[in-house]
Structure 1
Amino acid sequence: MEQEEAIDAAHQDPYLTTHPLTPDRIAFVKDHLARSPYKDAQLPSGFDSGFDMVKAKLDGFLDSPGPTYRAYAAKETTPAVRYARVVLSHRMGDEAGSLRLLDGLIAEQPSSPWLQELKGQVLFESGSGRAALAPYQQAVRLAPDQPLIRQSLAHVMIESNDPALLRPAIDHLQTALRYDREDDETWHWLGVAWGRLGNLGEANLALAEEAMLQNDIRSARRFAQEAAGALPPGPSKLRALDISNAVKRENRT
Structure 2
Amino acid sequence: MKNTLLILLLGTSLWGYGEGALYWTPHGCDEGKAAASKHGGHGKGESAMFAAMNLDGNATARLVSPDLSVKELRFNQNTVMLPAPKIGGYYAMVAESNVSGNVYSAVRYLSLHGRPVKVSPTKLTAAPKAALEIVPDPLHREHDRYTASKSYRFLVRFENKPLGNANVTLETHNTPARTVKTDASGSLSLTLPNDFKNVRTGRSENKSSEFLLTVRYDEDMTQYVSTFSMPYYVNPNDYWQSQSLGAGAIFIGFLGGLFLYRRSKKGVNHG
TM range (shorter): under 0.3
Higher RCO by CA contacts (8 Å cutoff, separation 6 or greater): 2
Name the structure with the higher helix share. 1
Instruction: Please give the TM-score of this superposition, normalised by the length of structure 1.
Output: 0.25
